[in-house]
Structure 1
C-alpha cells in the first residue's frame, strides 16, 4: 500500500510538471490571457516597418496633394480674372449705360469765385434725381439774348473720362465773365440760361449778388463739367 501511494505521488508530480511546460509553451499565463513573451515583443518592430511604408505612401499622396494645390491656384486665377472682368464691366456700365442728366435731374446754381473784381463764376449741378446720370460735355451758357451766342468752351478743361453723378453728387464748371478791367465793355446780367448737352434741357439760373454780374462778350468762356475744379486745367 505504501508503494502504490508513492507511485501515485510521483505520477501526479510528473503530470503537473508536463502541464506547466505545456502552458508556458502556449504563452498562457493561467488567466486565459496571452502573456507578453518574446514573440509579442517582436510585433512592434513589424509595426514600425509598416509605419515607414505608410509614410512613404503619404509622400506619394503628396503629389496628388500638389495637384490639388494647382487646381486651387487655377480656381484663384480664374476668380481673379472674373473679378477683373466684372470690374471692367462695372466701369464701362457706370459711364456708358447711365442716362444723360437732364434739368429735371439736377439743381443748378451759380456762385462767384474770388474777387473783387468778380471775373469768374462756378456753376454747380447737383444730382437730385435719386439715380445716377451722365453729364455731357460743357454747359451752354447764354448770358444775353440768343443772338449773342454761347460762351465758348475751353478745350483743356475737358476731363479724361465722362462725368457720371451718383445720387446726391455734384459736378462743377468754371465760367469766365471778364478780365476785370476798368475799361472793359461789360453788360449787367441778373440771370442767364444753361443748356445741358445731349438733349438735357435748359434751365434759367439766377446770377449771384443783388446787383447781378458784369460780363464781357469778348472775354467770356466756359469749362467742361468736372467732378472738381482742377488747378491748371480750369485756370482761364
Structure 2
C-alpha cells in the first residue's frame, strides 16, 4: 500500500512538471513566443509616426505654395496685356470719327507732307496701320508704306487727340518726273470710307517713282519717320 502511494505521488509530480513546461513554451511566463502586435518599447511605430508627421508637414507646405501661386496667377495683368485689351476694346476709326488734314513738312523744295488725323468724335477709336493714299487718277495703286515707321502698338485716339503720318512726295530733284496734285483721297485701313484731303498751298508735286508713306503714330518721331 505504501508503494502504491509513492507511485501515485511520482505520477502527479511528473504531470505537474509536464504542464509547467507546456505553459513555458506558450509564453505563459513572458519568456516564450511574443503575442501578435508591436511591443510598447518597439522603435518601429515611433519611426513611422515621425515619417507620417514629416509627410503631413510637407503636404501642408506644398498646398500653401500652390494656393499662393494660383493667387499670383490670377492677379493684376501686365502692362502689355492691359494695353492690348484697351486696343481690342476700341473700335476702328472711320472717316466720320476723324478729320484728316495735310501740311507741308519743312520748307521748299516741298518733298514731304504731314497728314494729321484728329479724333473729332466723342469716343476713343483705333487707327490701324497706315493711311491708304491715292494721289493721281492715273495711278490707282495706294502709296506704299515704309515698314520702319510702324509703331510697336496700335494707335488709340481719345476724343480730341491727333495722330500723324509722314508722306514723301518726291526727292526734290529738278529733273524728276512730277505731276501736280491739288486734292487727294485717304482711306483708313479696316474701316472703309474715304476722305478727300485738300493739298496745302498751291498744290503738291508728286513723283510716283519716289512717293512713300509712314504709319500712323502718336507723334512725329525723328529718324523713324525719315522716309
If the length of structure 1 is used for normalisation, what is the TM-score?
A: 0.63
- State the SS of the aligned residue for 1:100: coil
Name structure 1 gaps, 5 residues minimum: 1-74
> In the alignment, which residue of structure 2 is the partner of 1:5?
none
1:121 matched to 2:113? The reply is: yes
> In the alignment, which residue of structure 2 is the partner of 1:135?
127
Instruction: Flag as ranges the 4+ runs of structure 1 deviating above 4 A.
Output: 86-89
Corresponding residue pairs, total:
161
1:191 matched to 2:183? The reply is: yes
Greater helix proportion: 1
> In the alignment, which residue of structure 2 is the partner of 1:222?
213
Structure 1 residues 157 and 87 mapped into 2: Cα distance closer, same or farther (>3 Å)?
closer
Name structure 2 gaps, 5 residues minimum: 1-67
If the length of structure 2 is used for normalisation, what is the TM-score?
A: 0.65
Structure 1 residues 200 and 216 mapped into 2: Cα distance closer, same or farther (>3 Å)?
same
Cα deviation for residue 147 of structure 1 reads 3.7
Inter-partner Cα distance in structure 2 for 1:196 and 1:181? 31
Contact 1:177–1:220 under 8 Å retained in 2: yes
1:163 matched to 2:155? The reply is: yes
Inter-partner Cα distance in structure 2 for 1:134 and 1:165? 6
Structure 1 residues 171 and 146 mapped into 2: Cα distance closer, same or farther (>3 Å)?
farther
1:47-84 C-alpha deviation (Å, 9 max, x unpaired): xxxxxxxxxxxxxxxxxxxxxxxxxxxx9xx79x74x3
- State the SS of the aligned residue for 2:84: helix
1:100-119, aligned counterparts within 5 Å? Answer: 100-119=92-111
> In the alignment, which residue of structure 1 is the partner of 2:172?
180
Cα deviation for residue 131 of structure 1 reads 0.5
User: What is the RMSD of the two structures over their aligned residues, measured on CA atoms?
Assistant: 2.4
- State the SS of the aligned residue for 2:108: coil
Inter-partner Cα distance in structure 1 for 2:186 and 2:111? 18
